[in-house]
Chain A
Amino acid sequence: MIGMQAHGGARLRLAPRKDIKLSSIGLTALTYVIAFVVFFPVLWMVLAGFKTEGTAVELPPKLFFSPTLDNFRTAIESSGYATFFGNSVFLSVGSTILALLLGVPAAFSLGLYPTKRTPSVFSWVLSTKMMPLVGIIVPLIVIYKQIGLYDSRAGMILLYAAMNLPLVIWMMGSFFAEVPREVLEASQIDGAGVLRSLISVVLPLTAPGLAATALLSVIFAWNEFFLAVNLTGPNAGPLTVYISGFMTSEGLFWAKMSAASTLAIAPVFIAGWVAQRWLVRGLTMGAVK
């Protein structure tokens, strides 16, 4: 029950205003510190990308060093970078779209119209993620080679969508199930309105959830390495394979790998930023129910 009281939810504050302000500032400061600590390893990696191999692990670390773009140049100019990058984008976006197309209707059905079978369906869907990829890789290689999907973008999109589909179903299922009965019923007076109610009412209500789900799906696909390295060759390999190519066992690679990895997380950062706007947008939309 949403409880849209006309007075908008007045709350009684028992504590005096001055205390609120101080503890509020304290919390904000704490948040900034925590954010820095959490982000620090990423920052350290990004900085390493601008150093030479010799200075990347130098101690004491030079706070002021002359940055070099050599590693970034190496990372981009290496033949095939554009291919790897393009593949990553195709695979992440393509598989997420496919997973959403399949998973959102399924989650709608399971979350809002549950039956006695619903818990078992949820359980079975989750069980498809219980096999360690390492245990199933040889069968996958054999099958993919047989049907000609080895080293193909289509093959990887299909696999990644299957990998993320349980996530979509579970997450959107939970968010959909939070939609109050009345809103749902009010939005569909007759049968053909099911799809319309899904798209024009339910989805906007669960926009934060959808944004989080899509972002997570994109990230999981973007960072997936094991399937990618074993089932792709020179043609369909994504950035994860490319970056692992720097981790050699007979040479120093800290700076080069850091630069390549920095380039790889930049798009995801942007995707995250976009998803964030949706998270905020969902907030305002939800308030105007």
Chain B
Amino acid sequence: MSRLVAEPPTPTAPQPVRVGRRRRSRQERLAYLILLPALGTVFVIVTIPFILVLMQSISADDGTLVGLRNFSRALGNPLLYDALRATGVYTLIVLPTEILLGLTFALLVHRTVRRSGVRAAVYVLAIVPLVVPPVAIGVVARLIYAPSYGVLNVILERLGLLHQEINWLGNPTLAMLSVASVDVWQWTPFVYLVLFSGLQTVPRESVEAAQLDGATWWTQFLYIEFSYLRPLFLLILFFRLADVLRVFDHIFILTGGGPGTTTQLLSLYMYRIEFKFFDSGQAAALAVIVLVSISILYALITRVLPLERE
């Protein structure tokens, strides 16, 4: 039976000095060995599928190579641009709203709530939307916005604010706002949690010094706290952009992409190309296009918003 023990101390006899390459090489070998399971897993679940998608994007259904024909078909499909437009509008609604609301909540709680119990309660409340499955959120949202029995219309009618039912999911503008509101509800807490944790890292001395110098709420935020939060904004932007590209469940349940194709975001469009049109070549080409585009976008964002605090 083996037992784990600490390595014994070096004996008194002088050891030959292991310098330079050999010693480092042994450590490196060990490091690579340790990394191997993780790298192997990444290779199996990420690299191989990516290579398969690349192959699929330049192949026909029967496996023959067709060059860039799938890419030209994907880019030539007018529905792609409808989906891109819808995704762009959705992103422009949800990202600024979530960041603004999340930041406001984070600053409010950070500056006004001192009792740790209350902070913990807010923390738990913020976690809840994040752990609810998107399908469940979609179903609940449908009960809120649905025509004829939607809770929102009933409340507005009972409050006397509404005399004719609002068609939340049937009007193109309202449908987009409705599906976006679900996203804002679910993901604003994520922004709040990230920014709130960032605010905890701001040194109290700096804040106190600024306050002694007469800094207002706004200047305190702009010149001290913002510099600590900047890398986190980038993190939020990265995560949320990736999420927006994956948004599917609640839109599928709420509107099915309608009315027409108004709320058919890129993910829903790609799903339909793959699983309704069974055009796996075009779907793979779309996946590659999206991957390359988002990589370029991320690189640009990183340049514009440097990760390091100045």
The yes or no verdict on A and B being binding partners is no
The residues of A with any CB-CB pair to B shorter than 8 Å are none
Chain B interface residues toward A at CB < 8 A: none
